[in-house]
Amino acid sequence: MAKTFKKPEALSDQTTHYCPGCTHGIAHRLIAEVIDELGIRGRTVGIAPVGCAVLAYNYFTFDFQEAAHGRAPAMATGIKRVRPDLVVFTYQGDGDLASIGMGEIIHAANRGEKFTSIFVNNTVYGMTGGQMAPTTLPDQRTTTSPAGRKVEEVGMPIKVAELISALQTPAFVARQAVLKPKYIVRAKKAIKKAFQYQLDGRCFSLVELISTCPTNWGLTSWEAVKWAEEKMIPYFPLGEYKTPE
């Protein structure tokens, strides 16, 4: 009988530590599929963040480095500059990339470093227990905004895809979601494009993925998907924000 569904070679056998309903697993699988399809596993180096995906290196089967909080783009810069033949990507959450690592991502993008950033936006710090992130929506309750995010005190959520797109340096920037099949198909296309741009030596590429955190949002898996679709996507619209032409 022909095998119609199998685990990508780039993905390991290890069971993930992610919570039920978390969409990190989907993002991991899409990256692994793309790496398989492009045949680049033997020259790819991933960079794991600090946050829920801190152990991401356990779930892939190629070389990995583990960064400090927010510093993955600087590490990717270091690798890519000395080994342009390697395919390098960072995998970062919203606390990591949009808060403590904002400086590193902006400058790496602005230099046009030829690596790929996969940015998982689920509006909260997951690993540390659901604290407010730079992407937390107005009035959204978190463990450090128990009365809801007060925008008059902490500002509006940061739209990372739009922010990076505003840089003049050519780049590929897209925002997609890993919520339902229709979104997931588009997300994979964006990730593949991002890696292809890197392989062609064209530009920096960043794909923001609208994701869920049912545990810290206090919702069931399905409620979380619906919440992300109804609350996040209107504020964080999907699409391609910048292409290098």
Partner 1 sequence: MGRILMKGNEAIGEAAIRAGCLNYFAYPITPQSEVAEYLSRRMPEVGGVFLQGESEVAVGYMIFGAAGCGARVFTTSSSPGISLMSEALSYISGAECPAVFVNIMRGGPGLGGILPSQADYFQATKGGGHGDYRLLVMAPAGVQEAVEMVMKAFPLAEKYRNPVMILGDGLIGQMMEPVEFPDELKSEPSNNDDWATSGMETRKSSRRNLVKSLFLDSEQLEAHNRVLKAKYDRMRREEVRYEPYNLEADYKALIVSYGTMSRVCRTAVDILKVEGFEVGMVRPQTLFPFPEKAIEEAVRRESCKVAVSIEMSMGQMVEDVERSVRGRCPVEWFGKSGGDVPTPEEVIDAVKSFVKELI
- Closest separation in Å from C-beta 127 to partner 1: 12
Find the binding residues for partner 1 in span 172-231 (CB under 8 A). Answer: none
Going through 22-67 in order, the beta strands assigned E by DSSP cover 44-48, 63-66
Using rule CB under 8 A, residue 171 touches partner 1: no
**H-helix segments, the chain:** 24-38, 72-82, 94-95, 102-111, 151-154, 160-165, 181-199, 214-217, 221-227, 233-235
User: Structure tokens of 228?
Assistant: 């992300």
Looking at residues 61 to 100 of the shown chain, list those that interact with partner 1 (rule: CB under 8 A): 61-68, 71, 74-79, 81-83, 85-86
Q: Which is closer to partner 1, CB of 56 or CB of 224?
A: 56
* Structure-token match 């998982």, residue found: 120
**Pick from 44, 136, 176, 198: which binds partner 1 (CB under 8 A)?**
44
- State both tokens at 225: 């998907």
Least distance between partner 1 and beta carbon 160 (Å) = 17
- Tell me which residues touch partner 1 (CB under 8 A): 41-45, 47-48, 54-55, 57, 60-68, 71, 74-79, 81-83, 85-86, 103-104, 107
